A and B are shown apart, each in its own frame.
Chain A
Amino acid sequence: MEAQSLDRRFSLVRVARLLRNRVLDEASTIGIGAAIVLACNLLSLLVSHRAFYNSQGIGPSPWIVTIVLGGLLLAGGSLKAMHDGKSGTEWLLLPATPLEKYAAALADSILFFPLAAAIGAIAMSALLALLERAAGGPGDRVWAPFDARALVAWADYAVAALVLLAGSAAFRKAALLKTAAIFVAFGIAFLGLSALGLLAFFGKHGGSASQLRFFSGWLHIEGAGGNLSERAQKALAVGFKIARYAILPIFAILFGAARVAEKEARDEVQ
């Protein structure tokens, strides 16, 4: 059975093994991160009798922010080993196809980490609530990411993680920073071109676009010559969502997979 699976171009067994190896490799880093979060909350319990991660505040939950930032950091360095002068050769020659190696990194960043981190966060939040109550605080809040907002947060996280994963496949050093810089640069260029296009559009209709507003997921465009019709605004918003949640992730996945497939263990000395 094992020998047969070697001939397969894609084997879920190998992906699962690669994923397990990744998780074990990352376990100590994630453990340190979790310990830091716990320590900060214990400190806050000592000082104010409240675990600040469980406190109601303005903006997104600290649990979500921590999980997203942690996941993005991991995704940004997800394929670091592939570029290393020494471990890179071992990585490339481990008997699994490049696609399987990329799929394992993707599954880790997009699915496994956020899921495992969320479960861990729920457990830690519950523990902190108990400790808060024991310390004389309210202890009445446990973080539970079972709502639509968490799903939207995950979708946004997944898109960003895919882009960072592609960046990790492309860049040898400072992949996260370089990817972020390129992403921002492309974003500015995209907005600039969009603005120019809209100006041209309004110009034709005897006005000029004076304001572009992104609000609640909808794109509002107002111009001196009159607002865009509701229908046109919706169409633009849908186009924007397709670009964000479909074109960008698909491009990132294909780009990253191609970079992994063509990666070579080139000796820098040569």
Chain B
Amino acid sequence: MIEIRSLTFGYGRSPLFDSLDLRLEGGRAYGLLGLNGAGKTSLLKLLAGALIPLSGKAEVFGRVPAKREAAHLADVAFVPEDPWLPSIPPSAWLARYAIFRPAFDRERFDELRREFVIGEQKALSKLSYGQRKKFALAAALASGARTILLDEPTNGLDIPSKMQFRKALVSALSEDRVIVVSTHQVRDLESLIDPILILDKGRLAIELDAEELSTTLASAHVSSLEGMQVVYAERDALGWSALVARRGGDGFSPAAAVSSAAVSSAAVSSAAVSSAAVSSADLELVFNAALAEPSRLAAAVAGGELAPYVPAADMEGKE
């Protein structure tokens, strides 16, 4: 269990977080999204104990990270985006560093190391970025820590390793463990992270769980936006990638919803909206919607009616 209350933190004069409140429950893998500089890494470091808040309180399983008690540090595994590893082989690393974590699962670590195909002889500092990342992820997932904090875990991983990582992350999930994954690569992890937390301007802009997402939002690729309950849309070469509101709870099919909405519009009666183009909510669109159209997104999730969508480009034209 992680609880943050009225936390303030910043670099220099400008606060990064001003009175941030957050509560994270066990048994879930939280996806932490935000623009560059939104404070994702800083939040992970605050939870790990590498940074100290200016005011407010953070508690991780009842302990205050800023105190850096050994029990807290052994119960948290933080993998930075570019992990540092010493110039020693894996066996020496186990003997010198893993021993500080009594719950470290050596067998699980060896399994993960084999799955990630990490060599046993080479000095860890000489491994490639991707290899170092895999080693650090294997160490974190085998650490026995109840809080696992991962910063851009899929950056630098090859495609098979991403799959292995997803498998390993799923198997690491348990009721007494909180996993927080900060990422820009949401598509790598969209089937895993639940819920998503979007940080913006020093606060939690929105928290959405997978059920809310699947029942209230869908993504569609359409040639026109007219007649649809559009939350947010981006123009592309073939039309629009749109995040649309579902009418949850009444058996309303997302594909039919978009198709019928598009087709029923006189202006776009010939719009080619195939059911195959409709899918569950794309997390990149959700993220962009949270930043560009936060009130529409909130209304859509709450099941409210949305005003006709005016794309950002049209808005600029009107202004």
| A24, closest chain B residue (CB) | B96
User: Which of A5, A17, A95, A266 neighbours the largest number of chain B CB atoms within 10 Å of its CB?
Assistant: A95
A6 & B74 in contact (Cβ 8 Å cutoff): yes
A97 close to chain B: CB less than 8 A:
yes
A267 close to chain B: CB less than 8 A:
yes
B73 & A96 in contact (Cβ 8 Å cutoff): yes
A32 close to chain B: CB less than 8 A:
no
B101 close to chain A: CB less than 8 A:
yes
| B48, closest chain A residue (CB) | A93
B70 close to chain A: CB less than 8 A:
yes
Total interface residues in chain A, CB < 8 Å: 34
Contact of A17 among B37, B86, B100 (CB under 8 A): B100
Residues of B within 8 A of A8 (CB): 70
Pair count A-B, CB < 8 A: 80
Residues of A within 8 A of B49 (CB): 92-93
B82 & A98 in contact (Cβ 8 Å cutoff): no
Residues of A within 8 A of B41 (CB): 267
Q: Once bound together, how far apart are the Cα atoms of A11 and B100, in whole Å?
A: 11
Residues of B within 8 A of A266 (CB): 11, 51
Known: A86-B82, A100-B70. A265 touches B45 (CB 8 A): yes
A92 & B68 in contact (Cβ 8 Å cutoff): yes
Whole-angstrom distance from the CB of B130 to the nearest CB of chain A? 16
Contact of A7 among B71, B78, B83, B103 (CB under 8 A): B71
| A267, closest chain B residue (CB) | B41
B259 close to chain A: CB less than 8 A:
no
Beyond A86-B84, A90-B83, 15 additional pairs, beta carbon < 8 A: A2-B102, A3-B103, A6-B70, A7-B70, A8-B70, A14-B70, A14-B100, A17-B100, A25-B86, A92-B68, A93-B76, A94-B100, A98-B68, A265-B50, A270-B16
User: What are 11 sample pairs from A and B whose C-beta atoms fall under 8 A apart?
Assistant: A6-B70, A84-B84, A86-B80, A86-B83, A92-B49, A93-B48, A93-B73, A95-B73, A96-B73, A267-B11, A267-B41
Interface residues in chain A, defined as those with a beta carbon under 8 Å from any beta carbon in chain B: 2-3, 5-9, 11, 14, 17, 20-21, 24-25, 84, 86-87, 89-90, 92-98, 100, 261-262, 264-267, 270
